[in-house]
Amino acid sequence: MPLNLIMLGPPGAGKGTQAEHIARTHAIPKISTGDILREAVQNGTPVGRLAKGIMERGDFVPDDVMIGIVRERLDQRDAQAGFVLDGFPRTVAQAAALDNIVSARGPLIVIEIVVPEAELVRRMTTRLVCEGCGTTIGPGETSCGRCGGRLVQRSDDNEPVIRERLKVYHERTRPLVEYYQLRPTFRSVNGSQPPDRVSADLLAAIESSWDGAAPKGAHR
């Protein structure tokens, strides 16, 4: 059975770091809409030109654009055996579209990462990304493991924009917890722990969610 996974949670909760880990251990693609948009901005594509200002003020790129990007990405061959989405869905309209896209592909596993707000602000104001490839540098790391590029702060990781992103999260993304939480495949994990503890809890949550979702006697 494919692992179709989404990571819910506020900016700074560690979704990207954890999604990266799961993608590696389960050999499935990590699909980060933030990464896709940052790359589009860097390349100056039409989507990038549309998204640049929106991202700089901490707002959301329109649903139809985001749904189009994700639909196209999930159609690619490597995503047929499963995927981990990071940063999508962020609105109820995106969640409904995703249900449609994956309806024929087996259950969607939804993991919420919970972190208190003060901790989120502290993490985002101190985190670094690689200037070369955009990878977020994990806590304790001093260089980019992927390309060795220079480490910089993300242009939207400054306090006023962080506050705006958290506000938009509460207004538009937090309702997704209610959207998903009654499903048997929904789990929450405590994201305030050290990253390897979060990873361990996350793997356990995926296992239990997966077992709950699988028809009796099914093989993975």
Q: Which residue has the tokens 């690689």?
A: 130
Residue from 38, 123, 165, 187 carrying the catalytic annotation: 165
The answer to whether residue 24 is catalytic is no
Residue from 154, 172, 174, 183 carrying the catalytic annotation: 154
Q: Which of residues 51-110 bind ligand AMP (CB under 6 A)?
A: 54-55, 58-61, 66, 87-88, 90, 94
Q: Output the smallest distance, CB 98 to ligand AMP, in A.
A: 10
Q: Which residue is nearest to ligand AMP (CB)?
A: 34
The answer to whether residue 90 is catalytic is yes
Distance in angstroms (rounded) separating the CA atoms of residues 134 and 144: 9
The answer to whether residue 77 is catalytic is no
Running DSSP on this structure, what letter comes out for residue 14?
Answer: S
> Which CB sits closer to ligand AMP, 28 or 51?
51
Residue from 15, 30, 38, 123 carrying the catalytic annotation: 15
> Which CB sits closer to ligand AMP, 7 or 206?
7
Q: Which of residues 4-23 bind ligand AMP (CB under 6 A)?
A: 11
The answer to whether residue 197 is catalytic is no
Distance in angstroms (rounded) separating the CA atoms of residues 58 and 171: 13
Alpha-carbon 85 to chain mean position = 5
Q: Output the smallest distance, CB 40 to ligand AMP, in A.
A: 10
The answer to whether residue 127 is catalytic is yes
Residue partners of 63: CB distance under 8 A and separation at least 6: 91, 93, 94, 97
| DSSP assignments along 69-136, one per residue | HHHHHHHSGGGTTEEEEES---SHHHHHHHHHHHGGG-PEEEEEEE--HHHHHHHHHH-EEETTT-PE
Please check whether residue 151 is in contact with residue 131, taking contact to mean a CB–CB distance below 8 angstroms.
yes
Question: x-or-dash pattern for ligand AMP, window 162-181, by CB under 6 A?
Answer: ---x----------------
Catalytic residue list: 15, 90, 127, 154, 165
**Residues engaged in binding ligand AMP (CB under 6 A):** 11, 33-34, 37, 54-55, 58-61, 66, 87-88, 90, 94, 156, 165
